[in-house]
Amino acid sequence: MSDHPTQLDPPGPRITPQTLRWTQALGLGPLFVRRSVLEQQGMPQSPAAAASHPLAVSVAAPMQDAPAAHAITAAAQPRSATQPPPAVFSRSNTERVSAIARMGWDELQATTQACRACKLGGSRHQAVFGSGSSQARWMIVGEAPGAEEDRQGEPFVGAAGQLLDAMLHAIGLDRRADDPQRAVYIANVLKCRPPGNRNPEPEEVAQCAPLLQRQIALLQPGLILALGRFAAQSLLGSNAPISQLRGRVHQFVGIPVIVSYHPAYLLRNPADKARVWRDLCFARNTVSRAAQD
Ligand code: URA
């Protein structure tokens, strides 16, 4: 696996069990680190850097909903009989964050479906949690659900999603595959549709961050492909344009991240498909090399 340093992995203090305990107690977490990294005692990101990262959780930010909405119940959300009820959160965002950091897939999904942590919870039709195999080595991260995703409850199912499927097939991947070599897991930075497909707001990203962080921690993908400026900048804590972020292996808490254009952009700018093809080949080679290490 390539290990290029980025702004996400400055030399930081070594992680100790105490470090993990106090960062979680302070609500700075979820500070998750690949097990292999922890075992090597190599810290890809200091707690301070983690806290200032765009996907870090704002402990100070209160939840925006009215008190009654804090007691989240599953009543309004469809849920299978096997799913556990979503967590009932207190008013404290710190408690919310540390509860999310301990959730398994089913509880995380149920909690996402019931989430009212920001105003998007009031305008969406349904939250779009993510789709694909929990065994996938590839994770695709997009921006936010659009109208079609909001209707169907699955990420990337509109026109951009069809192009994404074609891009994935071109490198032998399939969102419906179970085989970890071909499987992908697809998620967005935001789980709820911003009205009118406007850009996500910082508070929305802050409230959604623990959900995406937990998805990444549970999945432990071999590679994250960040599609579009918003996903790339959110994951990498950067303001740099896509053109500067492409073509390198970045890291998100020890997991390689490769950046490419968003399929919706490609629909408007088909001439850039050749660039995306290069990015996909680069990503595929990066995953293959990591598998050989
Ligand atoms: N665009 C995204 O970024 N995500 C989706 O799920 C759909 C469109």
Q: How far is the CA of 144 from the centre of ligand 1 (A)?
A: 5
Q: How far is the CA of 41 from the centre of ligand 1 (A)?
A: 36
Distance CA 164, CA 33 (A): 29
pTM of the model: 0.74
The mean-pLDDT minimum among 7-11, 17-21, 92-96, 267-271 falls in: 7-11
Pocket test for ligand 1, best of 112, 125, 140, 143 (most atoms within 8 A of CB): 143
247 touches 229 (CB < 8 A): no
Distance CA 290, CA 17 (A): 28
- pLDDT for position 82: 55
Q: Which atom of ligand 1 is nearest to the CA of 160?
A: 8
Q: How far is the CA of 142 from the centre of ligand 1 (A)?
A: 5
Residues with CB under 6 A from ligand 1: 142-146, 149, 155-156, 160-161, 188, 264
CATH of span 94-292: 3.40.470.10
DSSP annotation of 255: E
The answer, yes or no, to whether the previous bond of 5 is cis (omega within 30 of 0) is no
Q: Is the pLDDT of residue 85 over 70?
A: no
Q: Mean of the pLDDT values across residues 207-226? A: 97
Pocket test for ligand 1, best of 188, 225, 268 (most atoms within 8 A of CB): 188
Q: How far is the CA of 150 from the centre of ligand 1 (A)?
A: 10
Q: Mean of the pLDDT values across residues 106-115? A: 98
- pLDDT for position 293: 81
CB atoms within 10 A of CB 152: 16
- pLDDT for position 8: 30
Share of the chain above pLDDT 70, in %: 69
